[in-house]
Amino acid sequence: MTTDASDRAGVTASGTPGRGTTRALLGTLAAGAAVSSALGLYARLHVPTGRTLTTLGFTDLLHMKAWLTTAALVLAAGQVLSALRLYGRLGGRRRGSSGPPAAPAPAWVHRLHRSGGALAVLLTLPVAFQCAWSLGFGTYSLRVLVHSVLGCVLYGVFVAKMLALRLRRPPAWLIPWLGGSLVLALVGLWVTSSLWFFSHGGAGY
């Protein structure tokens, strides 16, 4: 059996993903799962120090966690809106409706999407480090357990998405699915930490 150029690029003559694309996709998802697992193992096996290296100007560690996660969530909302524009779901004709097709998103939307996503992840890094190093993988309540799991999942999904963006021919569903999962993980983190913190007068983990 011969292999043409389209198959070498990861797509068969019938238009379905080739073996190369399938392997790359599985490798991408496996890398994300490995990152999540490694973070979970470290946070679980590491003995929490209970110390705070920095609060970045906030009054204490819990305030830093709550406000940085909230800022990241706001940026994530911008990610959702800019992604909808990039995929033609905002500012253009809906599928099946009459009229001209949606105009391509302007360049600044692309820049906003990339920079907003990078900044959102950067804001979570001090929180993640302090959670894993100072507090550890909490299991003493369902809320804290869910929070700990989502914290690990967030970075695994992020790594998978960054790798998926470099695939030559990713499935059409992959990037939106990973992006949506990333936002949902961040929402879950905020609900199980920042929302709890604010609604309980600044008390608790």
Q: Tell me the whole-structure pTM to 2 decimals.
A: 0.82
> Over the stretch 82-128, which tens digit does the pLDDT of each residue have?
999 988 888 755 545 555 566 788 899 999 999 999 999 999 999 99
Give the burial class of 102: count Cβ atoms within 10 A of its Cβ; 0-12 exposed, 13-18 middle, 19 or more buried.
Answer: middle
**CA 82 to CA 114: how far, in whole Å?**
10
Report how far Cα 190 is from the mean position of its chain's Cα atoms. Answer: 13
Measure CA 117 to chain center. Answer: 9
92's tokens: 């253009």
Note the pLDDT tens digit of each residue in 20-71.
688 989 999 999 999 999 999 999 999 999 999 889 999 999 999 999 999 9
